[in-house]
Amino acid sequence: MKVGFIGLGIMGRPMASHLIRGGHEVHLMSRSGVPQELVDLGGIPHRTPQEVAERAEAVITMVPDTPDVEKVLFGPDGVAAGLSPGKLVIDMSSISPIATKEFARRINALGCDYLDAPVSGGEVGAKNATLTIMVGGSEEAFARAKPLFELMGKNITLVGPNGDGQTAKVANQIIVALTIEAVAEGLLFAARAGADPAKVRQALMGGFAGSRILEVHGERMIRRSFEPGFRIELHQKDLNLALEGARQLGLSLPNTASTQQLFNACRAHGGAGWDHSALVRALEFLAGQTMVPER
């Protein structure tokens, strides 16, 4: 298939590389420029989203936020200007479910299919092609896109119609944020009580508290390895979607709100670009000690 891929950051770059290695003709565009490594693999660079859409049968977007997706799709020289009937647009960014439904309506009006397909798994999942992919859209469009998804991820689910993929991702980000906070509290408690948090983490991995977040982010907390990963500012964007959606639904999400405040504390200390596992630092500020000595 001729595939377009727009957005080649921490996540998009390895995802696009898997498509190239999978034998697809991949047309590339990024506002920061197309990495030479992808060109060397066989990717074809372009200057605008419109150029990508003109040459591709399916166009994937992987950009930071709702306004970025709107600009890429509908701005000057955007994807919409390069579409012709029958093409497929797949947004793999994490954005507003409400805006997603409107974007899908506008793309459908051009005679094209639209899928929202946000991912979970972070940089590690993107590099290893083990992402979880949550999809909203029609069964027919999903069937067309599934061979592409299978090159980038492992757990691939059609959740429902347009918007449901993004709704699943918001739910995912709530759970991830609160679990990071729980792991941070547990390991910080262990350290304050005089136990070795690394040994405590090892013991917990075999029990009911065991989780992927305890495994990966618990280790980050202990090793003080806070290079992203997934930046705090991006997780805050996702929690804003959750809290705004909850307001519209008349729903209380008290622990999501409190975790967002801990992320705010990290940002106040210059941590917008830290990995989201660095949420532990906000708790450490409150405790007046670090879990382990800083290196």
What contacts 154, CB < 8 A, 6 or more positions away? 129, 130, 131, 132
What contacts 143, CB < 8 A, 6 or more positions away? none
How distant is the alpha carbon of residue 15 from its chain centre? 12
Query: Are 263 and 232 a contacting pair, CB within 8 Å?
Result: yes
C-alpha–C-alpha distance, residues 82 and 283, integer Å: 49
How distant is the alpha carbon of residue 294 from its chain centre? 29
Residue of 146, 169, 199, 237 marked active site? 169
Query: Are 60 and 38 a contacting pair, CB within 8 Å?
Result: no
Q: Which two tokens stand for residue 244?
A: 């705004």
Catalytic annotation on 169?
yes
User: Which residue type, as a one-letter code, is found at position 275?
Assistant: D
Residue positions annotated with a catalytic role: 169
